[in-house]
Chain A
Amino acid sequence: EVQLVQSGAEVKKPGESLKISCKGSGYSFTSYWIGWVRQMPGKGLEWMGIIYPGDSDTRYSPSFQGQVTISADKSISTAYLQWSSLKASDTAMYYCARRGGGPPHTLDYWGQGTLVTVSS
């Protein structure tokens, strides 16, 4: 069974760093892109970026380029999303999702989400 399991909720202060994780199981982790999606409170889904764990090819949406870093450790089938200096505006739910094969390349499996709260 394919699963993406994300790390738990985080409460941080502005300026702090953070790295959240997404562990894949039940499939060949290196053969599928993993994307990260932000959902701010009461708002829609925003595509942040995507990584191919097989070769670490990483793409960022323009709005998130330079704001976050996406990485993966294929030895432990885990993708990461990290911030070097959090802002209050980073408060959101963050989802990882697998970009399925194909076409049609749907987001066929999702993690349960990691809630990040940034507050002084």
Chain B
Amino acid sequence: DIQMTQSPSSLSASVGDRVTITCRASQSISSYLNWYQQKPGKAPKLLIYAASSLQSGVPSRFSGSGSGTDFTLTISSLQPEDFATYYCQQSYSTLGTFGQGTKLEIK
């Protein structure tokens, strides 16, 4: 199984801040890395696919980068609606494992 490790597990930030979340795979997954946002009581929502492609309708303040084993999700200027939990997920294998999540909280 491919293991995905996210950091940090939680993060406090203010509106307008730039934040970065990292995700590391236990083996190379090329660019088969996706990012999801989940708000309380809701299903996850796809933000970024193939490491750096923005899903339709997602604001451009979200961006992704990386390949191989190391990836990042960056939010350039936090908005109130961005406070949520973020998950990376590898889709290199059919059983696409998730990172443990990063909870982004208001400072």
Contacts and interface: CB of A to CB of B under 8 A. Distances in A.
Contact of A104 (B43, B85, B91, B94): B91
B46 A108 contact: yes
Given A62-B1, A107-B36, A44 B46 contact: no
A49 B1 CA distance: 12
Interface string B9-47: 000000000000000000000011010101000011110
A106 B91 contact: yes
Given A44-B100, A47-B97, A47-B98, A110 B87 contact: no
Given A95-B43, A112-B43, A107 B32 contact: no
Contacts of A33: 94
B50 interface: yes
Interface in A76-120: 95, 97, 99, 102-108, 110-113
Interface in A42-60: 44-47, 49-50, 59-60
